[in-house]
Structure 1
């Protein structure tokens, strides 16, 4: 990957002296940025041998060396031939910027296949196509074909699927004085994708913070695995999100497990910082220019008392605790300030302290306290008449950012500086300040919270999934699935039973007389449930009758369910009526599962019953998981608090339910043909024992031989 970002030599395909030649912009950008490697031009359609001092040849085979990287910005129809030319010349790394491939048309898809095949034949790895590809402020490489001056060198690296939006973020970083390390616009991701670049940046010494702008996540499992073990912050903005309505919602699971929630679950496991506003790339990058906030105790300071109160509200909503350094601390602080503080407390109102030279000592004293984990200071830098000698001019126009940075670095704790004021003046201060300047307290508080959460997550270490021995009945489960495909109804309880998720005794009656006989055999009371491919949600078609107290009532119930189905779904097939032993009273929960195309199997669980979608009291885990992860997420649910005991009710042992969720997770891992699974309700009895009362699943066809 070093050859992509810091090649010793570069070939630019399509270079010519014609007016408006776009590859010429790439050469000029590299020269402006200070690229120190050799540069060549390759253009089979020209007789030129020199363009602006750059040697030009018709084939890469004519070059004196095999360049470590070639950038290809020519019409798509010529790209496969250019790849072949590179391969014959021994070039093994390409940046393909041309558009017109699999993002455009069937013809483009054919060209994409030719590009990929040619690269594979020659062992070539490439970025793109359809992207601005690569830039590196350290090596001076700048391949985007938009004229560019050098940008500020820094420690933030950006991976983006959109070249245009990547340039927007590039300029936004520059305007906020957040320096850039590396830039990768990966386009269509035909070869290298975000995970490949992320893995490289994980060990890149010039990168401290990694940003990701993605419209589609290809290999979510690898992304989670990489981010979990990387000790650098990874910030994700995921665009092009869709709701569950884009799926054919077979079950409660499908309507609850939309893409957004699964991405949030994946980010939480990996420690990825997910953002929803583009400017938060800047906010979050600034946070990691500060020392780590290792706890929740914060000190809020401002010469504007009302602003301090407002910041205190924001801090509490963000989950911070207000530091309480004790009376001795405040007495010492009053001595430093000569009693020039309106309110000795937290927030610290500094409205009467006009001696700006006292501020650095106060900040140092605050950060040195063992009871303070971090601080935020908000003030202003307004436009004021020049030449003023009054205390207010000194108070609001004296730059103490150097002293603030010194206090912060000495204590190794974060101090978030917020300044309001005249935009040009604030911009100039940001450019020279040795610490980040935030535009408002809300931004600073979000930044500190994200930074704190990241350090807490990394200190806990990556999730250790349970690694039990192979499930003893896994092969039996796969044999059971081999006989089925498509929508599978309540008979799915048999499969769940193979994974120790129990259900009440049940049998299917084909006639009213059979229903009467089975009710007597099982023992009343029983429940009757319709069995029909047309009745996905049984209660909606009058297909569930509970509390059937006698065999005769079961016979009449069969006829009633048959009539209800005919009325709600004319022409629907009645495969039978399931006669199930009536479960004891208890709490109704839900367990579901699906196979996400990016992140693999996902299990959902939470409050169940017919109102599961209304209450949305659900948590999600990626598979494989652990009992510790399931337990922690169960405790976050409202239903979890009910299990813990409320309003005098005795607590219910959650462990059987936790184990059942874990078993369903193992089932999904062991049986990849299960695309979707819905177990609802799962009745939890006062003893903690549970019974699965209904199930449905969607089973993929067996793979072709």
Structure 2
């Protein structure tokens, strides 16, 4: 069912209506009346006849008119029965304020399930439970009770009432911007984040979406929806908390390394979402993105009235990945013509006192700079807005005139202007005028830099939008018949871990360069296999119960000669028995030693919120110590594979150091794409670790491979999280 009847409700029942001013059942009705909500308001309380002049009803089902949404402000235990009663009336949605549901443990989860059952059987969509409420500020539909919330063009989604209050207060005190909607998502028991996102994407009055997220029930669906949304509207998000994803699969390197913050940040950014890490930058970023055009060439000019601020801004923007281009010669010449001889005009531009007696020159400089084709946006830093305070009151009118001019420039040139002012807290009229023209003004230089930086980040994303993935899998389409047979055999034998020969055979079916290994059941078989291979070999324990072979001293390298191989075989078997007496031992794997190269790791796992993800990084036994890895949500493209490699600190090693020949990054990219293909082909796979992969000057070798399957009951298409 559409959220239209819930978020744009034309009639509201307040269950738990009250005459006590501290109760939500009072505050909501009072706010609806005071703010001029034009829909029908129905207080529900069997103990009262009238509340604030409105007739009170004993139950929702007794209300004479239609009811779109019910605000339920009663204890958690009462909610299932109330929803059953709402169902008799045909209520479309309910906002459940109470706590005491899934967030409190098993008992609360059972109650939440009863709530969902009652809502589902009666076709009622739920906001919450454990929510602060919902506001449609366009229609004065305020089910939060927070008065005088600023109206504007930003939709707000949070899982924290306090964060919502912080953002709404910040908008009211520091900005001319406001909100179209606010939704406290709460436990996300029914309506999910992606459904709200889709609604706001299609809302003509919403220009940007601002989110505070602690956790998601369906992260992959959210990414798929975000991918479609960010093409049309910017989405700004602050993610807090970490998941327990890695704990479930501590038996693999990938599971141990996959923290929620790393996976989520990369996934969100790949969907075009602007991820904010500092809470004081959250609203300013949304304000800028909802007010100004994106900067599509990633080039920003800095106009300052002091060298210190200009240098700090240049450093900060560079750290944010923004280019500070040198201005064209004719642009520099025009600036020199109106500024003192000591002015710096290359970029950053320092007026060197040229505005002290006439701050309107800021507007003249801005016009010249924005005409430069190298410039996509302009950051003004320093004293603007304070000349009338700092020097002479007569200068205030010049600043106001400059503000008018700069406001018109944004519309004329379709280029962003963001202003940092030391006098922002003084609230001079010139800065209010800038905000009137939707030019954001900030007292913090760091926040100002971040705010124009996100315009460049969003512009970079839009420029390459069609090269991005839509996060959709075509499950099983590229599976090989022999690959299916391998997985079926593992399940039939009651296992969920492929033996290394099975894992390598599966990889080889999809074109991966795996080593040609032989599984030996006796010391003699191992010696014979080594002799056929020629050269030096490695021996590795083959056991579904020993995932980390090195921990069990189950790997011996650089062996040659039959007697040494036999001795090594017996030693490995003994070590395995010592490590785990009841381990199932299939034999010892005899592997040819491969040529030297750079050791890397590639791994995949199922993230609780986003489904299959892939990891790349520096490999070998040091991977969990150095943790030089990058993550992406699957599937990936060739460009994404290359960026995964470049995101690691160690990636220059592949280019060759101290005159060494470069290693084969193309082969590595192809292997990453092969791993993506395998996960899409076989939804039964829970985790995959290739560690190490040796990248040579030409080609590569998958030396060790581990594949874990989902329990057979969870092996349906895509698995529970995908």
TM-score, normalisation: structure 2: 0.89
Q: Is the 8 A contact 1:596 1:602 kept in 2?
A: yes
2: CA distance between counterparts of 1:110 and 1:256?
Answer: 33
Does 28-37 or 644-653 show the bigger shift?
644-653
1:702: Cα distance to partner? Answer: 0.8
8 Å contact kept, 2:370–2:413:
yes
Name the stretch that deviates more: 215-224 or 650-659: 650-659
Unpaired runs of 5+ in structure 1? none
1:89 paired residue number = 89
Work out the CA distance in 1 between the residues paired with 2:327 and 2:190: 55
Q: Write the distance in 2 (CA, Å) between the matches of 1:30 and 1:582.
A: 75
Partner of 1:205: 204
User: How far 1:135 moved relative to its partner?
Assistant: 0.3
Say whether the 8 Å CA contact 2:381–2:421 is kept in structure 1.
Answer: yes
Deviates more, 1:255-264 or 1:313-322: 313-322
Q: Would you say 1:478 and 2:487 are equivalent positions?
A: yes
| Preserved contact between residue 540 and residue 554 of structure 2 (Cα < 8 Å) | yes
- Alpha-carbon distance in structure 2 between the residues aligned to 1:386 and 1:629: 51
Q: Deviations over 1:108-155 (max 9, x none)?
A: 33322221111111111121111122102110011114xx32222111
Q: Which residue of 1 aligns with 2:365?
A: 362
- CA drift of 1:302 comes to 1.6
Q: Using a 3 Å threshold, how does the CA distance of structure 1 residues 653 and 432 change in structure 2: closer, same or farther?
A: closer
TM-superposed deviation, 1:610? 2.1
From the superposition, tell whether residues 307 and 478 of structure 1 become closer, same or farther in structure 2 (CA, over 3 Å): same
Tell me if structure 2 keeps the 8 A contact 1:401–1:433: no
User: Could you tell me how far 1:636 is from its partner in structure 2?
Assistant: 4.4
Match of 2:720 in 1: none
Change (3 A) 1:456 1:320: closer
Distance in 2 (CA, whole Å) between partners of 1:415 and 1:385 is 21
Q: Deviations over 1:492-535 (max 9, x none)?
A: 22332333324223233333333323323444422111234564
Q: SS of 2:528's equivalent?
A: helix
Kept after mapping to 1: 8 A contact 2:477/2:681: no
- Cα 1:529/1:661, change in 2 over 3 Å: same
Hey, what does 1:544 align to over in structure 2? Answer: 555
**Contact 2:194–2:226 under 8 Å retained in 1:** no
**Per the alignment, do residues 121 and 364 of structure 1 end up closer, same or farther by CA in structure 2, a change over 3 Å counting?**
same
Paired residue for 2:673?
662
- Residue 199 of structure 2 is aligned to residue 195 of structure 1: no
- What corresponds to 2:381 in structure 1? 378
Measure, in 1, the Cα distance between the counterparts of 2:270 and 2:457. Answer: 12
Residue from 278, 296, 313 that aligns with 2:298 = 296
**Are 1:440 and 2:444 counterparts?**
yes
Q: Does 1:280 align with 2:281?
A: yes
Partner residue, 1:265: 266
Q: 1:382 to 1:640 in 2, by over 3 A?
A: closer
What is the alpha-carbon distance in structure 2 between the residues aligned to residue 9 and residue 424 of structure 1?
43
Tell me the CA shift for residue 604 of structure 1: 1.7
User: Contact 1:303–1:351 (CA<8 Å) still a contact in 2?
Assistant: yes
Aligned-pair CA distance for 1:427: 9.9
Corresponding residue for 1:229? Answer: 228
Distance 1:559 1:496 in 2: 29
Quick one: which of 597, 620, 637 aligns to 2:608? 597
Q: Which residue of 2 aligns with 1:619?
A: 630
Which of 701, 713, 720 matches 1:703?
713
Q: Please give the TM-score of this superposition, normalised by the length of structure 1.
A: 0.91
Q: Distance in 1 between matches of 2:487 and 2:577?
A: 35
**2:538 corresponds to 1:530:** no
What residue in structure 1 maps to residue 104 of structure 2? Answer: 104
* Residue aligning to 1:55: 55
How far is the alpha carbon of 1:251 from its aligned partner?
1.8
How far apart are 1:174 and its partner, in Å? 1.9
Alignment of 1:253 with 2:254, yes or no, is yes
CA separation in 2, counterparts of 1:23 and 1:5? 19
Q: Find the counterpart in structure 1 of residue 152 from structure 2.
A: 154
Change in CA separation of 1:258 and 1:25 when aligned onto 2, cut-off 3 Å: same
Deviation at 1:70, TM superposition (A): 1.4
- CA deviation after TM superposition for structure 1 residue 413, in Å: 0.8
User: Take 2:280 and 2:342, find their aligned partners in 1: how far apart are those partners?
Assistant: 35
Q: For residue 81 of structure 1, report the CA deviation from its aligned partner.
A: 1.6
Q: Which residue of 2 aligns with 1:117?
A: 117
Task: Trace 1:449-528 onto structure 2 (pairs within 5 A).
Answer: 449-462=453-466, 463-464=468-469, 470-473=478-481, 474-483=483-492, 484-491=494-501, 492-528=503-539
CA deviation after TM superposition for structure 1 residue 243, in Å: 7.2
C-alpha change, 1:120 and 1:153, in structure 2 (3 Å) is same
1:74 Cα deviation from its structure 2 partner: 0.9
Match of 2:417 in 1: 415
Distance verdict in 2 for CA 1:385–1:360, change over 3 Å: closer
Partner-residue secondary structure (3-state), 2:162: helix
Q: Secondary structure at the match of 1:246?
A: helix
Offset of 1:287 from its aligned partner? 2.0
Match of 1:308 in 2: 310
- Over aligned residues, Cα RMSD in angstroms? 3.0
Give the secondary-structure state (helix, strand or coil) at the position aligned to 2:131: coil
Structure 1 pair 485/32, CA: closer, same or farther in 2 (3 Å)?
farther
Per-residue CA deviation, residues 299-339 of structure 1 (Å, 9 max, x unaligned), is: 211222322233223233333333333333233223344x4
User: Structure 1 pair 100/564, CA: closer, same or farther in 2 (3 Å)?
Assistant: closer
Once the two structures are superposed, what CA deviation does each residue of 1:476-495 show, in whole Å capped at 9, x if it has no partner? 34324423534444232233
Q: Shift of the alpha carbon at 1:622?
A: 2.1
Shift of residue 699, structure 1, vs aligned partner? 2.2
Structure 1 contact 340–352 (Cα < 8 Å) conserved: no
Q: Distance in 2 between matches of 1:159 and 1:694?
A: 45
Q: 1:190 to 1:106 in 2, by over 3 A?
A: same
Give deviations 1:344-373, integer Å, cap 9, x for gaps.
332222232221233322221221222222
Give the aligned partner of residue 183 of structure 2.
184
Q: Is the 8 A contact 2:378 2:416 kept in 1?
A: yes
* Structure 2: segments with no counterpart, 5+ residues: 717-722
